[in-house]
Amino acid sequence: MEAFLNSDYIKPMPYLLEGLVFTLLITFAGLFFGFIIGAFTGLGRLSKNKFIYGLSSVYVEVIRGTPLLAQILFIYFGLSQLMDLNMHKLVAAILAIALNAGAYIAEIVRGAVHSIDKGQMEAGRSIGLTKNQTMRYIIWPQAFKRMIPPLGNQFVISLKDTSLFSAIAVGEMVYKAKTYYATTFTPFETLTMVCVLYLLITIPTSIYLRRVERRLDV
């Protein structure tokens, strides 16, 4: 037991767990704001207003058409220079995840709302509800049910994407691993444990999402 605890696989765990805290913080905070952005943008993609539709579409296409790493560097270095800001690395990381995930969540929202039968809107209007009330009380609850599985998949994707923030020295798991094995010369053992920690989160999440999908029958 003592040999196991003193092995090169276990020694980096305190550093990696410290990085895991930042990984989860960036993921949850980024997806929280990303969902807000995605919800408004997704509904904007369904708008009959050409300006709102066009603005939403440009945002989605630009974000989905550029690499996340380029977005991270642009936000941290480019925007900081443009706006003369000393942007904190953690703020840049959360903003990058929020903007990136928001574009994909927008398509999830658009697809889910679009999948609801148009008769639902007509039924709501026929009983005296306004368009916004019909969306809020009839369309959105049904659409949100259909969003849950793909939103869970987006969580897994965004969680793994946090590894890219090592490029700007954010203290997430990969960065912590790199700084650790740079002094201990144990990259194989350290990175193995990084992969194990990611899998301990992503595999149960994927299993849970499949159960939810079957339960909701979506």
**Full-model pTM:** 0.91
pLDDT digits (tens, 9 = 90+) for 105-136: 999 999 999 888 888 888 887 888 888 888 88
Q: Would the pLDDT of 218 be above 60?
A: no
The pLDDT value recorded for residue 133 is 86
- Separation of alpha carbons 156 and 211, rounded Å: 16
Pick from 198, 144, 162: nearest CA to 22: 162
Q: What is the CATH number of domain 2-216?
A: 1.10.3720.10
Buried b (16+ CB within 10 A) or exposed e, 174-206: bbbbbbbbeeeebeebbbebbeebbeebeeeee
pLDDT digits (tens, 9 = 90+) for 46-86: 998 999 999 999 999 999 999 999 999 999 999 888 888 88
The pLDDT value recorded for residue 86 is 86
Confidence of residue 5 (pLDDT cuts 50, 70, 90): low
